[in-house]
Amino acid sequence: MKTIDELLADGVSGKRVFVRADLNVPLADGTITDDGRIRAVVPTIKALADAGAEVVVASHLGRPKGAPDPAFSLLPVAERLAELLGTPVAFAEDTVGPAAHAAVDGLEPGQVAVVENLRFNAGETSKDDTERGEFADQLAALADVYVGDGFGAVHRKHASVYDLPARLPHYAGYLIAREVGVLKKLTDDVKRPYVVVLGGAKVSDKLAVIDQLLGKADRLLIGGGMAYTFLKAQGHEVGISLLQEDQIPAVKEYMERAEKNGVELVLPIDVLVSPEFPDLKTKAPSEHTVVDADKIPADQEGLDIGPKTRELYASKLADAETVFWNGPMGVFEHPDYAEGTKAVAQALVDSDGFSVVGGGDSAAAVRTLGFDENAFGHISTGGGASLEYLEGKTLPGLAALED
């Protein structure tokens, strides 16, 4: 695929460049709680603006139902982008309507505009090729060139990700180029030992990537809510912990394959349990105890890996040359259950290997828990996209950028 450097070499002064970013940031009462995805696309936007392009930035935010919804407006994102760029950013209150055209028509070389949430238009996410194509045609009318830099959305067959690049000269932005380069280090000529840490709530979300990793990784460390399905598959009581009963047969099969393939599959040996889920808003102290992983009381819920497991996982990461981590070890949003996730993050910081934090909650946890992002090899902006890449799937947004 062609990159933004090739576009800049050809010259963009006076051209309208449509940048499909991933600005899907978390909001609380209209306030951005983690601006990592905005900061990640700034180098691409700034390079284009500095070269004299008229930059049109577009993204989705949340899951509005194909119609405007003030709760999902990109206005706070546009305001934060202006702060990060140190220059005014125009904001259009629609995506392809009069406001968008007025904002774009008003741009001078080196200026930036953000159009409203792409998903306010049903055509963006439509499964109908014609409807999606019609929306892509409207988006194409806003620009001369397309730059794809929304890695967190490249696994979606959406109009702005998949259909629009076919209608304009297209290039990969700095973020996508970096993300793909990093993921290739996890799939091609991997330095070993290669350790993968998987957490998060549902084991069903990770089955496909586990299937692929059983032929590639040296060790798999399992935590988070998904760990209790593994423990149940071993015949242990998991109380009222998060459990996907229907996934137990698949988990048993993967455990057998791991042993057959010589892949070390490591599960928690102790966990923090509580009779009820903690209050994440007030973060009030939560009643909890530490128990062995095979002795979870029937009326208790596992909410984090325990201290012995933290030490075990740190030891399993100490000699790693390559690490991929996706998913927290527990309910890290509450201080009583953040230590497991913190321990994994610290182990990656302490390791001499190349570490990749696979987006989503893991990336949010790193920032929430106060770690220096530069202490990790790479923090991805796309959890789902990273996983699907590692699963070996063709990602529509990347395929669309290929020539």
What is the C-alpha to C-alpha distance for residues 19 and 3, in angstroms, rounded to an integer?
Answer: 13
Give how far Cα 383 sits from Cα of 11, 79, 199, 380, Å. 33, 25, 12, 7
Joined together, the tokens standing for residue 154 give 């490249």
Contact partners, residue 241, CB within 8 Å, separation at least 6 = 225, 228, 273, 296, 300, 301, 302
What is the C-alpha to C-alpha distance for residues 24 and 208, in angstroms, rounded to an integer?
Answer: 25
Cα 50 from chain centroid (whole Å): 28
The residue ranges of DSSP E strands in 175-246, in sequence order, are 194-198, 219-222
What is the C-alpha to C-alpha distance for residues 278 and 336, in angstroms, rounded to an integer?
Answer: 9
What is the C-alpha to C-alpha distance for residues 54 and 60, in angstroms, rounded to an integer?
Answer: 20
- Catalytically annotated residues: 37, 202, 360, 384
Contact partners, residue 8, CB within 8 Å, separation at least 6 = 47, 48, 51
3-state DSSP assignment of residue 177? helix
The residues with which 326 forms a beta bridge, in sequence order, are: 198
